[in-house]
Amino acid sequence: MTSREEILSAVRKQLPEAVELPDLRGPWIEYPDPIVQFAGVLEMIGGHCIRVPHVDAVQAELDRLPAYAVARQIVSAVPGAGYATVALNAIDDPHALEDVDFAILPGRFGVAENAAIWIEGDAVKHRVIYFLCQHLSLVIRAEDVIHNMHQAYERLAFSSARFGAFIAGPSKTADIEQSLVIGAHGPRSNTVFIVG
């Protein structure tokens, strides 16, 4: 018997007993008010949540944000929200978006458990704008805030290859010396507008 075979034999003798896979039917965590939970988690991870009654009220709230007030290059892919200075659909080369200061973009739904918002590439012409802008604002409907990631995955359907991602808060990293850096690899701020 070779040393390799001896080692593998010894490992096989120490294997734990097989157990059944867990039942994934729940019950999963649910919150008395998923929007309050979503807002609390978003604040904890460095973002900001603003609830508005309708999309037309988003502009007044944007005007109060210092990052929006000083922004020169603004993209808005949400009708009625923000005054766009960059026509996203008129740009052919996504590299031309490197100087975007502020982007107001749609999200499909939010998850109260972790304040993640599902975005899809077909919502905007250049999906890189979600990650390239200096400051990101996502807009979702109140009825699209769900409790947990199990519900989130139930909403997803992948009938063809396409882009989608969960975004939670601003870009951040604490890899180096355990020092938290906001905006390290993407947007420096994330404001979520919950409409309705």
User: Residue 85 has what pLDDT?
Assistant: 94
**Tokens (6 digits) for 155:** 């909403």
Question: Maximum CA pair distance of the chain?
Answer: 77
| 122, pLDDT greater than 90 | no
| 116, pLDDT greater than 80 | yes
Consecutive H or E run containing 131: helix 129-132
- Better pLDDT: 175 or 168: 168
User: Whole-angstrom Cα distance, residue 109 to residue 60?
Assistant: 23
Of the chain, the percentage scoring pLDDT greater than 90 comes to 74
With contact defined as beta carbons under 8 Å apart, do 157 and 109 qualify?
no
User: Residue 18 has what pLDDT?
Assistant: 87
Mean pLDDT across the stretch 117-122? 91
| 62, pLDDT greater than 90 | yes
| 24, pLDDT greater than 90 | no
With contact defined as beta carbons under 8 Å apart, do 74 and 68 qualify?
yes
Kindly indicate the confidence band of residue 111, based on its pLDDT and cuts at 50, 70 and 90.
very high
Whether a cis peptide bond, with omega within 30° of 0, leads into 66 is no
pTM for this predicted structure:
0.84
Kindly indicate the confidence band of residue 155, based on its pLDDT and cuts at 50, 70 and 90.
very high
Q: Among candidates 103, 157, 101, which has minimal Cα distance to 125?
A: 103
| 121, pLDDT greater than 90 | no
CA 67 to chain centre: 19
What is the full DSSP assignment across 145-161? EES-HHHHHHH---SS-
| 180, pLDDT greater than 80 | no
Mean pLDDT across the stretch 70-93? 94
Which long-range contacts (C-beta less than 8 Å, at least 24 apart) are formed by 88-95?
88/124, 88/125, 88/126, 88/129, 89/125, 91/125, 91/126, 94/126, 94/128, 94/129, 94/132
Locate tokens 């690899």: which residue?
185
Mean pLDDT across the stretch 103-120? 96
